[in-house]
Chain A
Amino acid sequence: MPEKRNIKGWGFVGPGLLWTVAFFAVPLLIMAAYSLFQRVGGRIVTDLSLSNYLAFFSKPHHLNALVNSLEVTLITTLISIILAYPLAYILAYRVPARWQRIALMMAILPFWTSYVVRSYSWLLVLSNNGVISNVLQWMGIVDGPVSLANSRTATVLGFVHFFTMLLTLTIFANLVQISPNYRKAAADLGASRWQTFWRITLPLSIPGVMVGAFLTIVLALGDYITPQILGGFREVLLPQAIMLQIQRQADFPMASAMSLVLMVVISIIFLLFSRWLKIERM
């Protein structure tokens, strides 16, 4: 009987598992194999070597893409946390309960707009003759049109916009789960508002910040759209560099190697954050 049950169970799990293995695990393995090949004169040579990885870490324009990505991601994450935390705090503790849900939904509504469209809409605000340029000219701060697009600032702004919403969500979810009794007890024992915040609320809300920060880092590191639309080519981030290898050079081995570097970086970040990322079953 247990043997038979076992086989039946596999019958149910089989199709989904097969799909994931065939179209996720196997492609990753093929990509790993490809990363050891080389593209020489338009042909792919299947001699195994680490030359793509060596090229990545020795040529400044490749390595710079990784460094740029890490810098932009770090700046984005810090600014987003600083913007999102007070918002989540106010929504969780200052907004009356019956307004809370609607206020939160409003705060994250644009989060659900199409990713491509969202980056484009920032272009409307930032570009030469865009909204900001017009407002600045109208206020007399600048004389002619100014463009904030095609710069690191634009990329960071687009990222911060998206991830402030994401972090507000994770921090809010964490803050509303903290029992009010802790804060009441602190107040009863004579703690000031600031002391209660620094000693009680903030430490207890770190998991929410960390989960949000992890998602921010992983999604920002792997994103091609925002840097491509808002940042342009003046400064290339790693996903842009990978896409350049595919679209301009048709160098699939190099693109595979760079993708695996990105995957390893994300795995390291996962390990660093793993103590805050426990998934609980309902």
Chain B
Amino acid sequence: MMRRAFKNIPAVVYVALVYLFIFMPVAVLVLFSFQDSLLPIPPFQGPSLRWYQAVFSDFRIMGALGNSLMVAVVSSALSCLLGFLAAYGLARYTIRGSGVVQWLMVAPLSVSYLIIGMGLLITFKTMGIPKSLIAVIIGHVVINLPLAFAIIYSQMGEHQANLERAARDLGAAEWQVLVLITLPLLWPALLASFFLSFTLSWDEFIIALLVSRFDVTLPVEIWSLLRSGLNPKTNAVGSLVFIVSIILVFVTEFLVFGRRKSQ
């Protein structure tokens, strides 16, 4: 195996260089989060955990972290619920104009977050709805619902339809079919949608910036930390966010691809 790799030294060198480019900023970020002085720039002094301590004792950051988790959980759950219902309705019932409905459901995917956020900002302003975390949740459902819908809809095959029909023939009511047959069969797709939505909501910045004011999410809080310039505390928050994102990705990866392999 190694011999095969060594046969192609230019390829190995190229891959190493691109990996270096890809990992350099993240490596610098994490390294200098352990810096034991006031600036996250060379030379490296440390390691020290003082900036992590500073992060955990900063009630603004901790508050933003809590807000981010709340927004991510609620918006992902709502996206999955609405996406599941819409996918079920479209896949199992004949609806007039279903083509248009499908198109509308996935349309937000083709519009920049900035524009979606702008639209919500202006709409809320016109209607006198104040900026809040609820507005952020509304925006995050707008961007995640199309993904949840598309993922769940793509998994609603004939196999499930047959089992649902069998259950109905044996006397199950509609809600029994949904809860006992459809939901368990779609569990992996639902989980994948949930974690993908969670990851995107957790990281989303521009909509959250536009429609929130006093209570903000973590990316917005990090954004305001940036005003103080280079700061090891920002490195520490960033490293923590990085770790959470990586865990989320591995969970999603495991749920989506682990499943695919077994099929």
Interface of A with B (CB < 8 Å)? 2, 5-6, 8-17, 19-21, 23-28, 30-31, 34, 83, 86-87, 90-91, 94-96, 99, 103, 105-107, 109-110, 112-118, 120-125, 127, 129-131, 134, 161, 164-165, 218-219, 221-225, 229, 239, 242-243, 246, 252, 255-256, 259, 262-263, 266-267, 270, 281-282
Contacts and interface: CB of A to CB of B under 8 A. Distances in A.
B215 to A, nearest CB: 18
Given A16-B145, A110-B22, A123 B101 contact: no
B21 interface: yes
Contact of A266 (B26, B28, B105, B112): B112
A112 B199 contact: yes
A121 B22 CA distance: 12
B118 A246 contact: yes
Interface string B216-234: 0001001100100010001
A127 B230 contact: yes
14 contacts: A12-B85, A12-B93, A16-B86, A23-B120, A23-B142, A24-B142, A30-B122, A94-B5, A107-B18, A112-B248, A131-B41, A218-B112, A219-B112, A243-B114
Contacts of B249: 109, 112
Contact of B19 (A8, A106, A123, A256): A106
Contact of A121 (B1, B18, B42, B238): B238
A123 B226 CA distance: 10
A114 B18 contact: no
B239 to A, nearest CB: 8
A279 to B, nearest CB: 8
Nearest to B127: A30
Interface residues of B, number: 87
A87 B22 CA distance: 12
B110 interface: yes
Contacts of B23: 109-110
From DSSP, what is the main secondary structure of chain B's interface residues?
A: helix
B11 A90 contact: yes
Contact of B119 (A15, A24, A109): A24
B4 to A, nearest CB: 7
Given A20-B108, A116-B219, A122-B25, A282 B154 contact: yes
A126 B145 CA distance: 37
A9 B120 contact: no
Nearest to A25: B104
A10 B88 CA distance: 10
A166 B198 CA distance: 20
Contacts of A223: 114
A131 B39 CA distance: 12
A166 to B, nearest CB: 12
B118 A125 contact: no
B114 A239 contact: yes
A134 B41 contact: yes
A259 B245 CA distance: 30
A110 B11 contact: no
B82 A19 contact: yes
B122 A161 contact: no
B122 A256 contact: yes
B138 interface: yes
A16 B22 contact: no
**7 interchain residue pairs of minimum CB distance:** A9-B93, A12-B89, A222-B112, A27-B119, A16-B86, A16-B82, A117-B238
**Which interface residue of A2, A112, A164, A262 has the most chain B CB atoms within 10 A?**
A112
Contacts of B11: 90, 94
Contacts of A222: 112-115
Nearest to A277: B110
A54 B259 CA distance: 54
Contacts of A239: 112, 114
A204 B40 CA distance: 46
Given A110-B26, A161-B21, A34 B108 contact: no
A218 B119 CA distance: 18
B57 interface: no
A28 B119 contact: yes
Interface in B226-258: 226, 230, 234-235, 237-238, 241-242, 245-246, 248-249, 253
Contacts of A134: 41-42
A253 to B, nearest CB: 9
B205 A87 contact: no
Contacts of A14: 89
B41 A124 contact: yes
Contacts of B119: 24, 27-28, 30-31, 259
A6 B96 contact: yes
Contacts of B210: 246
